[in-house]
Structure 1
Amino acid sequence: MATQAFISGQGTYSYASLTALQLIDRSRQGLAGAETGHVAGLLGVTDKEMARLLNQSVATFHRQANVQQLDAATSERLLLLTRLATYGATVFQDKGKFTRWLRRPLRLLNDRSPLDLLDSSTGVQLVEDIVGRIEYGVFS
C-alpha cells in the first residue's frame, strides 16, 4: 500500500513513519485540505464518519477539502490517523481486513468499536496499542 510522503529540508519521509518530533513539525506546517479525503479512504470511512473523527460538522469537513493548508490540530489528527491506518493495514496484511476490524465491537473496549474511539488522540493511541498487541500475538 502506498503512503503519502513529504519533503523537508532533511529528506523525504512517509507520513506513516514520522518520529514524534517530525509529526509535531509537520502538523504545525499544516497539511493540504485534500488530505482529509485521502485519510478517509485509508480508513474506509464515509465523509460523515471522518467529520466526526475530526470533531467537525460534515459541511466544515467538505469545505476543508479545498483549503490550501489545514490548522495544526486537524493536521496532527490526520497524521495520527494515517499512521494508524498504515500500521493496521500492515499488521492485518490487508486494508479491507483492518477497516472491517475497526468497525467490530471489542470486549476489550467495553463492546465499543475501535472506530468509535478515533475522535480523540487518546483513543487513537489506545487502538494503536491494541493493533500492536495483535501484531505480537498478545490476546486482545
Structure 2
Amino acid sequence: MTAPASLYSVAGNALTPLQLIDQSRQGLTGTEAGRVAGLLAVSDKEMARLLNQSVATFHRQAKMGKLDPVTSERLLILDQLAIYGASVFQDAGKFTRWLRRPLPLLENHSPLDLLDSSTGIQLVDDILGRIEYGVFS
C-alpha cells in the first residue's frame, strides 16, 4: 500500500508486512468486519461481496468470533485503504462518496466495484497515491 505507515492494525497501530501476516493468521473478530464496513460506508451485502462471500457466510463468520485468515487479511487491507483514503481526501465522507463515483480512468467503474480483488485494491490504492501527489484530478 502507498500509505506512509504501511498497514494498520484494527487499533490503528502500524503493522509491518510480517505482523499483518501474523495477525491475519490469528484471525480478526467478527465485529471488525462491521467496523471496516462502517469505515467504507458499505452495507453487509456490499461487504460480503468485497470479501468474496455470500451474505449468509459473512453473517455466520461474523457471529463465530474469529474470522478465517484470508478474510482477516482482506479486512486488514481494506482497513488500511479506508484510513489512507480518508487521509488523502482529508475527510472520510468525501472518500466514501469518491469510492462510489464511476471514474473514466476505471472505464466508468467505481473504485468500490474493484475492491473485491487484490488487483483492484492495488489499483485503487495507486489512484489514491496519484490524487495525494496531485497527478490525478
Task: Give TM-score scaled by structure 1 length.
Answer: 0.87
Give me the whole-angstrom Cα distance separating, in 2, the residues matched to 1:131 and 1:86. 11
State whether residues 34 and 64 of structure 1, in contact with CA within 8 Å, keep that contact through their aligned partners in structure 2.
Answer: no
Partner of 1:87: 84
The one of 56, 60, 71 equivalent to 2:68 is: 71
Letter in 2 for 1:85: A
Moved over 3 A (4+): none
State whether residues 29 and 66 of structure 2, in contact with CA within 8 Å, keep that contact through their aligned partners in structure 1.
Answer: yes
The one of 4, 10, 18 equivalent to 2:10 is: 4
Partner of 2:4: none
Partner of 2:123: 126
Give me the whole-angstrom Cα distance separating, in 1, the residues matched to 2:71 and 2:134. 33
State whether residues 51 and 58 of structure 1, in contact with CA within 8 Å, keep that contact through their aligned partners in structure 2.
Answer: yes
| Relative contact order, higher structure (CA 8 A, sep 6+) | 2
Unmatched runs of 5 consecutive residues or more in structure 1: 6-12
- What is the total number of aligned residue pairs between the two structures? 129
Deviation of 1:19 after TM superposition, in Å, equals: 2.2
Unmatched runs of 5 consecutive residues or more in structure 2: 1-8
State whether residues 10 and 32 of structure 2, in contact with CA within 8 Å, keep that contact through their aligned partners in structure 1.
Answer: no
Letter in 1 for 2:91: D
Partner of 2:46: 49
RMSD: 1.3
Letter in 2 for 1:59: A
* Secondary structure class of the residue paired with 2:105: helix
* Secondary structure class of the residue paired with 1:65: helix
* Secondary structure class of the residue paired with 1:31: coil
Deviation of 1:137 after TM superposition, in Å, equals: 0.4
Task: Give TM-score scaled by structure 2 length.
Answer: 0.89
Letter in 1 for 2:10: Q
The one of 101, 104, 121 equivalent to 1:104 is: 101
Identity of aligned residues (%): 75
